[in-house]
Structure 1
Amino acid sequence: MYQRNQISNKALSFLSTTDCKAAKFDPLPKIHKPGNPGKPLISSNGSHTEKISLFVYHFIKPLVPQINSYIHDTPDISRKLENIKNRIRSTAIIGIFDVTSLDINIPYAEGIAATYATLSEKVQPCPPISDIKVLIKVLKNNFTFSDKHSLQRRGTAISTSWPVYVKP
């Protein structure tokens, strides 16, 4: 991307990490639930995918609200229902679901395909969507647990870090 003048020196420097460490698996206890079950958490801060994830996130985040099925929060669904209330039959029953562990239950290949389909509908000159697609393929969780190296085989990796802005 840099050689094609599609990212800046700053973005190249940001993406060119040489002092990486393996991501680490740690269960995060859910203290608000009975028995304090652990939520699987892979901390990828400082890993080889951290900055790629941030870079990709920067370009994908604005697209998410444009997806027809996107719901931000409870007030958002209330507004959407209000906008279509004249088209809802009086006999309709509306149900709301609290989805848990969604990210880890999205099959990797299907998640990638859905992301590609959404990206393909958008026009984004720089960096090209084809480059973003290549970077997405790298975002599988490689991690350590009990001094053993593993690869996440199911589900979709959650963003590796809080987003920061890097000018392309």
Structure 2
Amino acid sequence: MLAVGGALLALLIAACTTDEDPTPAPTTAAPSASPTPSVAPSVTAAEQQAIGAYNGYIQTYALASQVADPDDPNLLRYLANPLLSLTQHNIRKLKNIGAVQIGSQKATVLDSTVDLAAKPPKVTIRSCLDYSALKLVYKSNQSPVPNSEIKEKELAAVATVTLHTTGQWLVTESKQGSHTC
């Protein structure tokens, strides 16, 4: 059972991140004397909706993990495949060993890039994930799951949020980022 705890924790974190290296963050140009052009309202709206979906994903993932419910219908409000399937799989692993998450992860959005010309339109969000208030315990007696202590309390992440045909912005991917928190 000791190996299960460590493997489970790694899978739990993988639901928020993967080992694939995301596209490098765009570099910032040197400031110029000319005024900054205004941002189109459609870009601002897309960015706000995508960040809302991302924050909803982080919160809903934590709530579903706290009761080990991989079929929580709220996951569908914020996630689409392939991240939806991975998230449900990892929560199901918790359920299968009788474990739940105590506490929740927190995300701090650092910046985002909107690409409305992409097919489908997408927003890339760079964030820092804080796992310091999270631990895994057995539901029956609240004892810690062996080898489940989180070693890296903060992880950089890059998420992709896409506009689906339903009109919803849904998180489809989350990778470990190369930036620091």
Q: TM-score range by the shorter chain?
A: under 0.3
Higher strand share: 2
Q: Which has the higher contact order (CA 8 A, sep 6+)?
A: 1
The structure with the largest helix share of the pair is 1
The structure with more radius of gyration: 1
Q: TM-score, normalised by structure 1?
A: 0.27
TM-score of the aligned structures, taking structure 2 as reference length: 0.26
